[in-house]
Copies of this chain bind each other. A is one copy, B any other.
Amino acid sequence: MNITLSHGSGGDATSKLIEEVFRSELHNEYLDRMEDSSVVPGGKRLALTTDSFVVQPLIYDGGDIGRLSVCGTVNDLLMSGAGPKYLTAGFVLEEGLDTELLKRIVHSMAETAQEAGVKIVAGDTKVIGHKGGKDDSPGLIINTAGVGFLDDALNVGAAFIREGDAIILSGNIGDHHAAIMKERLSIRNGNIKSDNAPLNEMVRGLLDGKVKVHAMRDVTRGGLGTVLNEFSRESGSDIYIIEEKLPVSDAVRDFSALLGLDIMYMGNEGKMVCAVAAEDKERAVDIIRSSRYGEGATIIGYAEKRETAGKGKLILKTGIGGERIVGPLYGEGLPRIC
C-alpha cells in the first residue's frame, strides 16, 4: 500500500493509517487514549528538546530514520543531565511512500524507544504531495520532541566548563556521516556503519558515579569541530585537542581521505563529548568504556583559561607539534545527514 493524500485528511483513512502503522507498534497506556494531548505524571524540573529528521536515504547501514529520530532526541535530553522519559512524534509523509517501509521504520522507533527507556506518548501525521525532483522515492520527515526529568542539584552545560577540565570523547567519530555518504554514492563497504545509538547507559553511569561532569554534547550535524566551538564560545575557555588522540576507525579514515572529508566536521549519532573535572577524568573514561556504545572512549584534550580577554577558541595540536585554530563548520556540510 502506498500513502495517498487521503491519509492526511484527518478522517477515515488517517485513522486507519494510525491504527495499522503507528498504534500497532507504538501503543502504550498514554498514546492509546487518543486524546489531543497525552497526560503523563510530572516531575520537579523538566528538560525539553526537539529535533526534525530529514535524513536520506531513510534506511542505511547501521540504522534508519526511525532509530535516528529516537536516538537524536533521547541523546539531547541526556546531554542536559536529564533522564529521558517521554517523546512525541510528528510524521510528515510524502504521497506514494510505501507503507511497508513506513511500518519497518515505525517498528525501529518502537524498538529504539524501548532500548532507550522512553515512551512515545503523542503523535501526529500529515501527508504532502510528492514533488519528485532530484531523488525520486517519496520521502518522510519525522519530528520528535522529548521530555526528561532532572535532579534539582544537577547543573550541566557548556557555561560550567572549568580550567583544566578533561575533554572526553566516547568513541570513533565520523561513522554516521560516512555511512550516509556511502549509501548516496552506492559504495559497498561493510566496515562503515552508522553509530546511531541512545547513550543512556554512559550518561547514567557518569551521573550515578558522581563524576563531576561539567558539560556534555552529542557529536551530531556539524561534527566535533562545531560542538567544541560551542564549548569554547559558551565557557570562554580555550579548548585544546590533540589530533593524534582523535579516535577514528580505519575504514572511516580511509573513506574520508579518499573523498577529502575533514573528520572534525563529520557527524555522528551515537557519540558524545564531555568536559569533566581533571581529578575525575580516568574514572570517567573507565565508566564510559564499560557502558554500552562507549568501548572506544578516550581523553582527547583539555580546557585552558585564555590568557587574553574575549571568547574561547578551539585549538587543534597537530602531530608535528603545530597548533591550528579550528572554527565551526562553514558552508554546506552534508545535506540531510540527520
Any chain B CB within 8 A of the CB of A133?
yes
A335 touches B127 (CB 8 A): yes
Chain B hits for A332, CB < 8 A? 4-6, 9
A36 touches B89 (CB 8 A): no
18 A-B residue pairs with Cβ-Cβ distance under 8 Å, sorted by A, are: A9-B221, A10-B223, A11-B226, A12-B330, A37-B47, A39-B45, A41-B44, A42-B42, A42-B43, A46-B147, A52-B91, A52-B92, A52-B143, A54-B126, A126-B336, A128-B336, A132-B133, A143-B143
Q: Which chain A residues (27-80) contact chain B, with CB distance < 8 Å?
A: 33-54, 75-77, 79-80
- Minimum Cβ distance to chain B for residue A71 (Å): 13
Any chain B CB within 8 A of the CB of A236?
no
Q: Which chain A residues (183-234) contact chain B, with CB distance < 8 Å?
A: 217-218, 220-223, 226, 230, 234
Q: Which chain A residues (108-129) contact chain B, with CB distance < 8 Å?
A: 121-124, 126-129
In the complex, per-residue mask of A84-103: 1 if CB is within 8 Å of any chain B CB, else 0: 00101111100000000000
Q: How long is the Cα–Cα vector from A103 to B174 in the complex, in angstroms? A: 34
A134 touches B131 (CB 8 A): yes
Chain B hits for A14, CB < 8 A? 222
A147 touches B150 (CB 8 A): no
Contact of A76 among B37, B89, B131 (CB under 8 A): B37
